[in-house]
Structure 1
């Protein structure tokens, strides 16, 4: 998923914004959905996408992409009861440092509390 948002440690990042790439992996039992081929037996991916968009684009501005990833993972786990765990990667492509970097990112893995 790709979003334009205003997160970052530097003032220009928060003022001008930049592109963020977010990847989400959800862990849940898909046996029922695989057998039934019914949308109601799996995660509503359009809703998941909208939740991620809302966190990244409309949520509070964060200094770190770690905080963005935490916000996304917490929101997904709180919203979808069948999701046992998730992995969220957040990358920003244009890093405001001296030198060349293709992108900079973090990956967090979070599980539902037992």
Structure 2
């Protein structure tokens, strides 16, 4: 299956379960992978035969800068649902939300959650 990826999208949001997270906010990085058949657009070079990357980015931005959501799982889930509802050619979407500033009392580079949604 062919796929389109948008990687390393950065947003400032107020997601988290701790009160400080919803007041101060922090950066979130989001990756989206979409499976779809790109054979037609490979021949036609027509945007209407593909998925508009800008429109996908705007969906992710709206959710990442909106909310807030307590859990990364919820943020990834609503992004997946929005993409599937708005882009019928997408057969599967995988969204990873990275939260490098997670309030964990230890040394780590990143916390991330990945959710997958497939068309039935």
In the superposition, the TM-score normalised over structure 2's length comes to: 0.90
1:35 to 26, 43, 62: 43
2:117 to 87, 110, 113: 110
SS in 2 for 1:81: coil
RMSD: 0.8
Structure 2 distance, partners of 1:42, 1:18, is 33
Q: How does 1:47-58 map to 2 (within 5 A)?
A: 47-58=55-66
Higher relative strand content: 2
Structure 1, residues 30-83: CA drift from partner, whole Å, max 9, x if none? 00011111112100000000011001112x211110000001000000110111
Aligned to 1:19: 27
In the superposition, the TM-score normalised over structure 1's length comes to: 0.95
> Which consecutive aligned stretches of 4+ in structure 1 deviate over 6 angstroms post-superposition?
none
Q: Which runs of 5+ in 2 are unaligned?
A: 1-8
